[in-house]
């Protein structure tokens, strides 16, 4: 699949540009136990609009833990995460869930599609959870998203009838369903062959460049990381480097 400026991914409404989309303030996450484990330590960072960010580091360095904290899938032991300037530590779980559904989209290494549903129904799940759209409109959007990602001939298929790269494209469509400002991806190419990995990477880059969204991706693929706009490197749960990558002509 070739992703280019002609792809018609439905776009989100313009977001407030006056505040960071996500901000972490001195965030630490300690996993309790007989010997407590510090997953993330004293991390402060700001994530802006229209960024393409790689989170890298050795195994066990806290990459996925940081992503889950930024995505409100986990809570810090200390410090706080703000979404569009709004502190999240005092939110109820329902409020956090609504914030995730409306502002954040997620793509995981193993896609987590429901095998008993068609791919259209899988993409509709976040829309149904958020509510506010008629069923026909949700289905139309799901079909449009999948078609824009090269899956127009597979809409009624179940996930097990698709290739790994196709399933990951379904996961990207599901992440885009509620028109979030930020896509968080945890090793999105980790289980794919080289050709499918390149296609998914180009798709994520197109989401940033063509549609103004922010993508934050945990990756062990340093070649991909160096083709992104910003690289945050973690070592032992702390930020070792946070640098902009020079744009290539």
Average pLDDT for residues 184-193, to the nearest whole number?
83
237 vs 235: CA distance, rounded Å:
5
Average pLDDT for residues 118-146, to the nearest whole number?
91
Cβ neighbourhood burial of 84 (10 Å; 0-12, 13-18, 19+): middle
36 vs 182: CA distance, rounded Å:
31
Q: What is the pLDDT of residue 190?
A: 77
Collapsed DSSP state (helix, strand, coil) of residue 20:
coil
Q: What is the pLDDT of residue 80?
A: 95
Element (H, E) at 209: helix 194-211
Q: What is the pLDDT of residue 4?
A: 42
- What value does the mean pLDDT of the chain take? 86
60 vs 63: CA distance, rounded Å:
8
Average pLDDT for residues 79-105, to the nearest whole number?
91
Q: Taking the CB of residue 109, how many other CB atoms lie within 10 A of it?
A: 17
Tokens encoding 10:
């439905």
Enter the pTM of the model. 0.86
Q: Is the pLDDT of residue 109 over 90?
A: no
Q: What is the pLDDT of residue 168?
A: 85
pLDDT band at 1 (very low <50, low <70, confident <90, very high): very low
- Tell me phi and psi for residue 69, to 5 degrees: -70, -45
Q: What is the pLDDT of residue 182?
A: 94
Beta bridge partners of 38: 30
Domains of the chain: 22-244 (3.40.50.300)
Least confident span in 12-26, 48-62, 127-141, 203-217: 12-26
For 163, what's the count of Cα atoms within 13 Å in the CB-facing half-sphere?
A: 12
Q: Taking the CB of residue 52, how many other CB atoms lie within 10 A of it?
A: 19
Q: Which tens digit of pLDDT belongs to each residue from 196-237?
A: 888 888 888 888 888 889 999 998 888 888 989 999 999 999
Q: What is the pLDDT of residue 247?
A: 62
């Amino acid at each position: 699949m070739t992703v280019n400026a002609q792809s018609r991914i439905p776009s989100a409404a313009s977001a407030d540009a006056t505040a960071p989309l996500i901000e972490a303030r001195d965030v630490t996450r300690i996993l309790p136990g007989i010997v407590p484990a510090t997953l993330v330590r004293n991390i402060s960072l700001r994530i802006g609009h229209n960024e393409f960010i790689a989170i890298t580091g050795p195994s066990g360095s806290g990459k996925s833990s940081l992503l889950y904290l930024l995505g409100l899938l986990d809570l810090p032991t200390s410090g706080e995460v703000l979404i569009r300037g709004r502190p999240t530590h005092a939110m109820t779980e329902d409020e956090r869930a609504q914030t995730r559904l409306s502002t954040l989209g997620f793509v995981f290494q193993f896609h987590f599609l429901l095998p008993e549903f068609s791919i259209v129904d899988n993409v509709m799940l976040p829309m149904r959870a958020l509510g506010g759209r008629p069923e026909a409109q949700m289905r139309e959007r799901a079909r449009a998203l999948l078609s824009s990602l090269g899956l127009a001939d597979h809409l009624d298929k179940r996930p097990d009838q698709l290739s790994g790269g196709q399933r990951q494209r379904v996961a990207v469509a599901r992440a885009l369903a509620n028109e979030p400002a930020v896509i968080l991806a945890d090793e999105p190419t980790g289980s794919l062959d080289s050709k499918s990995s390149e296609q998914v990477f180009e798709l994520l880059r197109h989401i940033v460049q063509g549609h103004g969204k922010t993508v934050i991706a945990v990756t062990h693929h340093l070649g991909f990381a160096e083709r992104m706009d910003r690289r945050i490197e973690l070592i032992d749960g702390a930020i070792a480097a946070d640098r902009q990558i020079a744009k290539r002509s």
